[in-house]
């Protein structure tokens, strides 16, 4: 079998040298274990954080260990009750084409949707968008929400679910094609191309125009100039679920004052005070108790086409590093997955 391990930790941007494709032998399943043939790997921004040896909410991947990742696959041998050959399952197998897994660590993929939906719209990213918007954003009909990475699995869920609840949804995405897709496919009211604005100041003007009633919820996915542009447009008692800040992931660490945007910090802090904003970071693993509620509510909306999803499919495990590096820079058009032969 084949797998991809972390060859060495990145310094700043991820490069191909950070990964190594290697052969390994799949052990026989012990009692309670099954063998999974992986059919699709999910590539997610959080994996960038796992490559750094810095304090975070989860342990880093060790050097020479398999890269962490969620996959869907087919059970090809079972030594566990409740699982049989042919079952389609989701699990955190890592970047590999075969894995032995404890049956307890696997969930069966529901029938009626393509299995890869378990990696995106009905998986961790879709759930993240739904949980952050509803539990932290506290959306009310008629309010305005702004979210960047609007065509990705998190942002597209935020925008579509907000529209479903009767909000105005303004997206931010990289390039005219993604912006058109956000409006025409996902139903955003408007979508701004962040590449068309030189800095936070220009972004600020564009946000003001797209949000004539101000911004009530900023679902934070990216940081950078989008954050700089949205923050001054927040309405009083606005909410900011802080989900991610992909524009700053290569900075690593938890230090302060040593990255871009440091001059903005006093102003940002003052804006939070003066506008009585609620800014709340969250990590989806803390929200798992609501997963069944999410699936109960959103799976039917996906099945009947109310909530749509877009996938960007790379082919072959060996191409996962390249697809991952590209995704971190916005090269993906929709949820990035890798089909494994």
Q: List residues binding ligand NDP (CB under 6 A).
A: 44-46, 125, 128, 148-149, 151-155, 173-174, 178, 194, 221-222, 224, 226, 243-244, 246-247, 282-284, 327, 329-330, 332, 335-336
Q: Which is nearer to ligand NDP, 38 or 246 (CB)?
A: 246
115 vs 287, which CB is nearer to ligand NDP? 287
Partners of 279 in the β-ladder? 240
Q: Of 129 and 139, which has the nearer Cβ to ligand NDP?
A: 129
Which residue number places its CB atom closest to ligand NDP?
Answer: 152
Angle at which helices 124-131 and 291-303 pack, to 10 degrees? 110
**Measured from the CB atom, is 74 or 280 closer to ligand NDP?**
280
At its nearest, how many Å lie between ligand NDP and the CB of residue 149?
3
Question: Min. distance of Cβ 211 from ligand NDP in angstroms?
Answer: 18
Whether the CB-CB separation of 182 and 188 falls below 8 Å is answered with yes
Q: CB 148 → ligand NDP: shortest distance, Å?
A: 5
How far is 92 from 62, CA to CA, in rounded Å?
16
337 forms beta bridges with 42, 313
What CA–CA distance (Å, rounded) separates 329 from 97?
26
Using the minimum distance from each CB to ligand NDP, give the nearer residue, 85 or 315: 315
Of 139 and 223, CB closest to ligand NDP: 223
Q: List CB contacts of 46: < 8 A, sequence separation 6 or more.
A: 58
Three-point CA angle 314, 320, 322, nearest 5°: 90
For residue 1 the two structure tokens come to 């079998």
* Minimum CB distance to ligand NDP, residue 84 (Å): 31
Q: How far is the CB of 79 from ligand NDP (least distance, A)?
A: 32
∠ CA 45-150-218, rounded to 5°: 95
**Rounded distance between C-alpha atoms, residue 146 and residue 59, angstroms:** 31
Helices (H), 51-150: 124-131
Q: How far is the CB of 332 from ligand NDP (least distance, A)?
A: 5
């Amino acid at each position: 079998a084949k797998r991809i391990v972390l060859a060495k930790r990145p310094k700043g941007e991820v490069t191909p040298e950070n990964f190594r494709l290697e052969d390994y032998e799949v052990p026989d399943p012990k009692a309670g274990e099954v063998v999974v043939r992986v059919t699709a790997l999910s590539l997610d921004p959080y994996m960038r954080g796992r490559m750094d040896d810095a304090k975070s909410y989860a342990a880093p991947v060790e050097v020479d260990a398999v890269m962490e990742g969620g996959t869907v696959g087919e059970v090809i041998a079972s030594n566990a009750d409740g699982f049989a050959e042919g079952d389609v399952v989701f699990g955190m197998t890592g970047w590999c084409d075969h894995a032995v897994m404890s049956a307890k660590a696997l969930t069966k993929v529901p029938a009626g949707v393509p299995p890869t939906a378990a990696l995106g719209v009905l998986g961790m990213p879709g759930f993240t968008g739904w949980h952050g918007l509803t539990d932290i954003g506290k959306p009310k009909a008629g309010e305005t929400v702004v979210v960047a990475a609007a065509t990705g699995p998190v942002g597209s869920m935020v925008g579509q679910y907000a529209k479903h609840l009767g909000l105005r949804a303004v997206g931010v995405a990289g390039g005219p094609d993604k912006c058109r897709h956000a409006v025409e496919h996902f139903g955003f009211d408007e979508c701004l191309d962040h590449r068309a604005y030189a800095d936070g100041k220009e972004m600020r003007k564009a946000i003001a125009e797209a949000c004539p009633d101000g911004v009530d919820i900023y679902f934070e996915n990216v940081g950078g100039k989008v954050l700089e542009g949205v923050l001054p447009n927040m309405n009083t008692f606005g909410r900011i679920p802080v989900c991610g800040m992909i524009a700053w992931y290569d900075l690593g660490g938890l230090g302060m004052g040593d990255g871009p945007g440091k001059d903005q910090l006093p102003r940002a802090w003052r804006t939070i005070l003066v506008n009585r904003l609620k800014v709340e970071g969250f990590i989806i693993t803390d929200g798992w108790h609501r997963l069944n509620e999410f699936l109960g509510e959103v799976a039917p909306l996906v099945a009947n086409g109310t909530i749509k999803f877009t996938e960007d499919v790379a082919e072959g495990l060996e191409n996962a590093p390249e697809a991952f590096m590209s995704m971190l820079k916005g090269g993906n058009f929709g949820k990035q997955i890798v089909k494994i032969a």
